[in-house]
Amino acid sequence: MPQLNPSPWFMIFMYAWAVFLLVVVPMTLSFITPNGPAMQDAFTPKIQPWAWPWH
C-alpha cells in the first residue's frame, strides 16, 4: 500500500515545518503592537465597607 510508505510524506512534513519556522514565524513576530505597555498608577483606591441591609 503506497500510503504507508513514509519516505515522500516525511520530506513533505520536513519542508512544511521548514517553511513554517523560516517564513511564517519571523513574519508573525515582526508585527508591532500599536499600544505598548503602560505604567500603572501607584494610587490605591479607598475601599468602603459594604452596609448589609438585613441587620
Residue range 14-43: mean pLDDT, rounded: 84
> pLDDT tens digits, residue range 29-55?
888 777 777 777 777 778 888 877 775
pLDDT computed for residue 23 by the predictor: 92
Among residues 7, 8, 27, the alpha carbon closest in space to that of 19 is found at: 27
Among residues 28, 25, 6, the alpha carbon closest in space to that of 17 is found at: 25
Domain ranges, ordered by start, for the chain: 1-30
For 20, residues 6+ apart whose C-beta sits below 8 A from its C-beta are none
pLDDT at 1 over 60: no
